[in-house]
Amino acid sequence: MSIPSEELRGAGGTGEVIVYACCSTALGLMAMAATDKGVCFVQFGEDEASLVDCLQAEFPHAELTPSLARNAPELDAWVLALDQHLTNGAPRPDLPLDLRGTAFQVKVWRFLLSIREGEVFSYSEVAVGIEKPKAARAVASACGKNRIGVLIPCHRVLRGDGGLGGYRWGLDRKRALLNAERKRQGYI
C-alpha cells in the first residue's frame, strides 16, 4: 500500500471533496471513498443510504460526491479491484491510502499493513510490534476505529486466546476474510 506523507487536513473533511462509490461484493454491499490523497473509507453495510450516512458521519464537513467515471475514474477502478479481491480471490490491490487518525492509530494501522495475508497477530503482539507492549487495549480501540476495511487488515488481529474478538463490520465478515486468506495461502 502506498501511503502519502501525513499532512494537516481540516477536521471532519473541512474544505475537501470526497468521491464515493458502492458495489456488491462477496462480503455484502461495500462503499469506498477517496480524497485526492487516496482511499479514506471502505465500509460494509446493508444498503447504500446507510453507507453514505456513515461516510457523512465520518467526514461531516466534506463535500460528498457520488463517483461518475469522468470525475473519478481511479475510484471506479479501485472499487472493482477490491471487489475482485473479495469475490474472486485476486491479490489485494495496492492502493494509495489517506490515513486519518491520531498518531497512535496511524502507527497501529501502518503496522497492520505489514501483516501478511493468512497470518494473524494478537492485540498484544501488535502492541509489542509498535513498541508499546502495555497498549493492547489501545491497539484494539485503534482497530475498531479503522475506517478503511480490508485494505488496512484489522481483521488479522485476534484476541490473545485466539478468539475472533470484535470486528467493526461483524464477526461473520471477519471469519470469511480470514478463511479466504488462509485458503489462498494453503493453511486450510
Cβ burial 21-58 (10 Å sphere, 16+ → b, else e)? bbbebebebbbbbbbebbbbbbbbbeeeeebbebbbeb
pLDDT the model gives residue 125:
97
pLDDT the model gives residue 3:
47
Angle made by CA atoms 84, 89, 95, in degrees to the nearest 5: 55
pLDDT per residue over 29-39, tens digit each? 999 999 999 99
What's the average pLDDT block by block, 10 residues per block, for the chain (188 residues)? 44 83 91 94 95 96 82 77 89 92 96 94 97 97 96 95 91 93 81
pLDDT per residue over 77-117, tens digit each? 898 899 999 888 888 899 999 999 999 999 999 999 999 99
Contacts of 188 (CB under 8 A, 6+ apart): 179, 182
Q: 3-state DSSP call for residue 180?
A: helix
**23: annotated active-site residue:** no
- Segments making up each domain of the chain, as ranges: 11-88, 103-184
pLDDT the model gives residue 9:
46
CATH, domain 11-88, list 2.60.40.1930, 3.30.160.70, 3.20.20.20, 3.40.50.2300: 3.30.160.70
What is the CATH class of 103-184? mainly alpha
The β-bridge relationship of strands 17-25 and 63-66 is: parallel
Residue 185: all three cell numbers together: 495461502
pLDDT the model gives residue 71:
52
